[in-house]
């Protein structure tokens, strides 16, 4: 089964023209069903990832063919294509699953997405401040190490790590806590 790649009915909001998926027809999307491998090929995602996305709710539960194959509507490609850019922006898979559920049920998730991104930017700003402080603590340590190593004889042991006791790094935390996986403790 092939899906036409060039037509006038756009299914995704992708900004990369060569990766856009289009459907047959004039006004409506094709009711075409795709298997795991077909969906994965079109979205650039592996079959195991697709099965995982189904388990966590990024993709809806697949229909089953008479032979037992998972089958999704062709328009599910758009959700899969949104995952990589959203993850780069800091969204977790569980957040995306909730956003996509809202989208599929007709609730506009726009304010939720905006609020999540606002929190992620705040967390990123905090992490940048912490890392900047940490960098400023490490610079004089490196300068001391350079001086000590210049004065040391070749092959002489110089206890460098002793200077790191004065360096403190506030442990950065993940922007949003993830749910524990099966068998994990929180």
Query: How does pLDDT run across 128-176, given as a tens digit for each residue?
Result: 999 999 999 999 999 999 999 999 999 999 999 988 887 887 665 544 4
138: buried, middle or exposed (CB in 10 Å: 19+, 13-18, 0-12)? middle
Per-residue tokens: 180:
């524990």
For the chain, the average pLDDT equals 80
- What is the mean pLDDT of the segment spanning 2-18? 42
Per-residue tokens: 104:
């599929």
- What is the mean pLDDT of the segment spanning 76-102? 93
pTM greater than the 0.75 cutoff: no
Q: Which residues contact 54 (CB under 8 A, 6 or more apart)?
A: 60, 61, 62, 70
- What is the mean pLDDT of the segment spanning 75-95? 93
27: buried, middle or exposed (CB in 10 Å: 19+, 13-18, 0-12)? exposed
Question: For 47-56, how does the pLDDT look when each residue is reduced to its tens digit (9 = 90+)?
Answer: 999 999 999 9
Q: Which residues contact 132 (CB under 8 A, 6 or more apart)?
A: none
Whole-Å CA distances, 113 to 82, 100, 125, 166 = 13, 10, 18, 41
Question: For 103-123, how does the pLDDT look when each residue is reduced to its tens digit (9 = 90+)?
Answer: 989 999 999 999 999 999 999
- In 3D space, the residue among 45, 48, 96, 97 whose CA is nearest the CA of residue 70 turns out to be 48
What pLDDT, on the 0 to 100 scale, is given for residue 1? Answer: 47
């Amino acid at each position: 089964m092939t899906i036409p790649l060039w037509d006038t009915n756009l299914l995704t909001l992708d900004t990369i023209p060569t990766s856009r998926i289009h459907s047959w027809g004039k006004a409506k999307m094709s009711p075409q069903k795709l298997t795991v491998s077909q969906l994965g090929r079109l979205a650039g995602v592996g079959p195991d990832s697709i099965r995982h996305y189904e388990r966590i709710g990024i993709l809806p539960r697949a229909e089953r063919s008479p032979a037992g194959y998972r089958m999704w509507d062709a328009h599910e490609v758009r959700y899969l294509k949104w995952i990589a850019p959203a993850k780069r922006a800091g969204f977790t898979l569980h957040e995306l699953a909730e956003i996509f559920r809202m989208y599929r049920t007709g609730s506009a998730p726009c304010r939720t997405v905006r609020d999540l991104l606002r929190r992620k930017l705040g967390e990123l700003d905090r992490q940048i401040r912490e890392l900047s402080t940490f960098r400023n603590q490490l610079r004089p340590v490196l300068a001391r190490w350079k001086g000590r190593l210049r004065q040391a004889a070749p092959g002489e042991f110089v206890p460098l790590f002793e200077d790191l006791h004065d360096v403190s790094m506030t442990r950065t935390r993940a922007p949003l806590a993830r749910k524990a996986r099966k068998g994990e403790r929180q």
